[in-house]
Every structure is written in structure tokens, then in C-alpha cells.
Amino acid sequence: MGWLFYTDGRVKTYADEKAEIARLCTSHGDTRKTELVKACKVGSTWYAAAKVTNIDGTPVEDTTYVTDADGSITFAAVFLTRYDDGCWGYKDMEESAGPVESRAPLSLLALLSELKDPDSYAHAWRQRCQDWAAIPDYEEGDKIKLAAPVTLTDGSTCQIVTATHYKRGRQKRRCYRIEETGGLVRLSKASLAGSELLSSAKGAASPVLAEFLAGRDA
């Protein structure tokens, strides 16, 4: 399915988006009904868990999912969203299509029914989501070895960095100090996949504070 944009202005806010995702995940047919269980927005992408039950109370039979104890199945759907000339639009796909966007939180994955085929696109998608969730959020002063050297804009590379921050206005922004040069670099979360913590900052003074104090003593 391609992109669908709403030109009537009905979707303008986060609450509007969430309500529309809920509507899209809800249906009542003659024999089955589908209802939204949970929806989470990560960036501009919505991840949803939707439960399917039979109207007559009999267990749902499905070729992709193992029926849950209550007779239902719960699957994941992904909604890419964006605004174009003020109009909100979406493109949706089920997990069985193996969406590229794979940052669904673990709390949503925990709601999904077991898959019958461990080699399915849906299984691979869930694994990518788990891999993303496993990337650590490092603390100030943590020394890290990246899984592979990162090439910078000047052509140089770095692999050992220390978590720190810089300020833009009143906001702190995460960045990393390069071991070899002392320069600062911003790294995407994806570039931290497979990284190794060499030393922890817990219990140690902040390197930013240490630099400040060293400057005062100079």
C-alpha cells in the first residue's frame, strides 16, 4: 500500500495521530473483530499491537501466529507517518511484511502472539527491534569501544570514545570525546550497536567537571 494523506485537516496533533492509529487498528466484521492494544510513537513512526478475536468466542485459527490462551492472536503493525503541506499521511504494513523500521519498544513486543515460523519476516523484524533495544544508553564519562571504526567527515576514524555532552542554549546534547584527538563527535544510536564498555563512570567524577576544575587550577 502507498501513502494516504488526509486533506481535511482532521489530524494535527499527537493526540489526533494516536486516535487515528487506534481507529485504523479497529474493525468489526461478521465473524471477527480487531482492537488496538497498545500504540507507541518512535520518531515519526507509530508501532501498534492489535488483537484479533472471533465474535462467537471460538479460538482464532491463523497460519502465522500461535493462538493465545484466550483464543485471540495479537500482531504488530507499523505506520510510517509524515506531514506534507500541512496534511498528515501514513503508510502502513504488518510485521509479516518485514518492515525496515524496527524500533518498536520491548513492552509492545511482549504483547504479541508467538510466531509459528522462526524464519519468517515477522520473526526477523522482532529480532531487529530487540537488537535496537539492546543498544545501551551510556552515562556521562563511560569509555566505549565501538564495534567498528566510525569514519568522520574529515576522513579520519575513531573507535574508542568517552560519553560526554555539549550545550546548545539551555539543552544538553549527547556527544562523545575521541580518545586519540580529544575532539567531540555526535554518534547515532545505530553506530553504538555492538559497542563495548571499557570503563564505567559510576562513582567517578564527571570528565566535564574535571576539565572545569583543571582550568580553574591552571
pLDDT digits (tens, 9 = 90+) for 78-124: 999 999 999 999 999 999 999 999 999 999 999 999 999 999 999 99
Range of lowest pLDDT (27-36, 103-112, 170-179): 170-179
Clarify whether residues 167 and 198 are in a common domain: yes
Instruction: Give the per-residue pLDDT at 190.
Output: 86
Q: Are residues 148 and 206 in the same domain?
A: yes
Tell me, yes or no, whether 153 and 175 share the same domain. Answer: yes
Rg (CA), the chain: 23
Owning domain of residue 177: 143-217
| Same domain as 163, residue 103 | no
Q: Are residues 98 and 150 in the same domain?
A: no
Other C-beta atoms within 10 Å of 199: how many?
Answer: 11
Q: From the centroid of its chain, how far is CA 34?
A: 24
* pLDDT score at 170: 85
State which of 106, 134, 162 marks the end of a domain.
Answer: 134
The total of structural domains in the chain comes to 2
Both 72 and 168 in one domain: the answer is no
